[in-house]
Amino acid sequence: MTYDLIIIGGGPAGLTAGLYGARGGLHTLIIERGAPGGQAGQTDRIENYPGFPEGISGLDLAFKFTEQAQKYGARLEMGTVEKVDFSGEIKRVWTGEGEYTGRAVIIATGASPRPLDVPGEEALRGKGVSYCATCDGAFFRGKKVAVVGGGDSAVEEALFLTRFADQVSIIHRRDKLRAIKVLQQRAQENPKINFYWNTVVEAILGESKVEALRLKNVASGDTWEEPFDGVFIFIGLKPNTEFLGNTIALDENGYIITREDLSTSSPGVFAAGDVRSKAFRQVTTAVGDGAAAAMAAQKYLAEAVQ
């Protein structure tokens, strides 16, 4: 059976596209590789999504998005998309489970945390090296942890970790944070948080779990070892576009290039959310993208029929 619309990725962008597609009468399939909700679903509290003045947990918001898309008939299937063929009018998408076909596709696969690429990181992943504070924070009750990075994610997650850890050290390569002011202020006022400015992690040390970090002050050139029980890495994102091969145009960082209507270089293929080359990556902007991409897909399908 050929769907009208296949949406790859079930985060805020994909689920909103699913809602708009299904509610607009398209036979819509969403393929998600893990739990619906994407990165937002792993966020403890979302305070900047309108309609929830008290804030809402990422998990609850993801559940509401999913429920609303399914209520209007979007079908949700689990699977990891491994390969696509967008060359024909009927688009082909393969997961480990088999092949799906659709007349239009929206790619909403988001972005994943970028690794530091330092010695010890891979070997100690899951043994004190983490990329998700909501997932792993509770393991560090009463402990001393490091957070690497200076953006919104690093500061937000450092604040979250103070609920468990006794001490949270933000290690940032410059002397100024990139995070928005309100987060900076909260971190600076939190007695559990301290900062290592102009500092990079050279190696993550430990036998069977994280024991220490080898740090370098880039201003003075000093290097030293500092004991930590865990290290949370938030140094930005990498787009989840590997499965696309060279089927559509990507920018120099691997994000999908789109036109104003979110169409891509391949007719009938649209992109929405964090996977798209754009300036801002927020739940609100992802949701807007999802709606716009679904409406553009609908227009494309209507014109294709004529």
Q: Which residues bind ligand NAP (CB under 6 A)?
A: 48, 116, 148-154, 156, 173-174, 178, 200, 234-237, 280-282
Return the number of the residue (215 or 297) whose C-beta is nearest ligand NAP.
215
Alpha-carbon dihedral 117, 13, 135, 240, rounded to 10 degrees:
-20
Please name the residues in contact with 86: beta carbons below 8 A apart, sequence gap of 6 or more: 92, 105, 247, 248, 266, 268, 269
**Given 44, 85, 132, 152, which residue is catalytic?**
132
Return the number of the residue (33 or 178) whose C-beta is nearest ligand NAP.
178
- Residues 159 and 141: their CA atoms lie apart, in Å, by 14
Both structure tokens of 182 = 């309100």
CB of 193 to ligand NAP, least distance (A): 15
- Residues 47 and 275: their CA atoms lie apart, in Å, by 22
Residue 136 a catalytic site member: yes
**Given 135, 166, 222, 251, which residue is catalytic?**
135
Beta strands 98-107 and 269-271 are parallel
Residue 161: its H or E element = helix 152-161
CB of 269 to ligand NAP, least distance (A): 24
Helix axes 58-71, 12-23, angle to 10 degrees: 20
When CB distances to ligand NAP are compared, the closest residue is 151
Residue 274 a catalytic site member: no
Return the number of the residue (76 or 154) whose C-beta is nearest ligand NAP.
154
**Given 4, 136, 229, 289, which residue is catalytic?**
136
- Residues 24 and 263: their CA atoms lie apart, in Å, by 18
Return the number of the residue (112 or 266) whose C-beta is nearest ligand NAP.
112
- Residues 202 and 27: their CA atoms lie apart, in Å, by 51
Beta strands 81-85 and 144-148 are unpaired
CB of 201 to ligand NAP, least distance (A): 7
CB of 116 to ligand NAP, least distance (A): 6
Residue 135 a catalytic site member: yes
For 100-139, give one letter per residue: b (16+ CB within 10 A) or e. Answer: bbbbbbbbbbbbebeebebebbeebeeebbbbebbebbee
Return the number of the residue (92 or 163) whose C-beta is nearest ligand NAP.
163
Determine whether 142 is exposed, middle or buried from the number of CB atoms within 10 Å of its CB (0-12, 13-18, 19+). Answer: exposed
Return the number of the residue (79 or 151) whose C-beta is nearest ligand NAP.
151
CB of 281 to ligand NAP, least distance (A): 4
CB of 237 to ligand NAP, least distance (A): 5
Active-site residue set: 132, 135-136
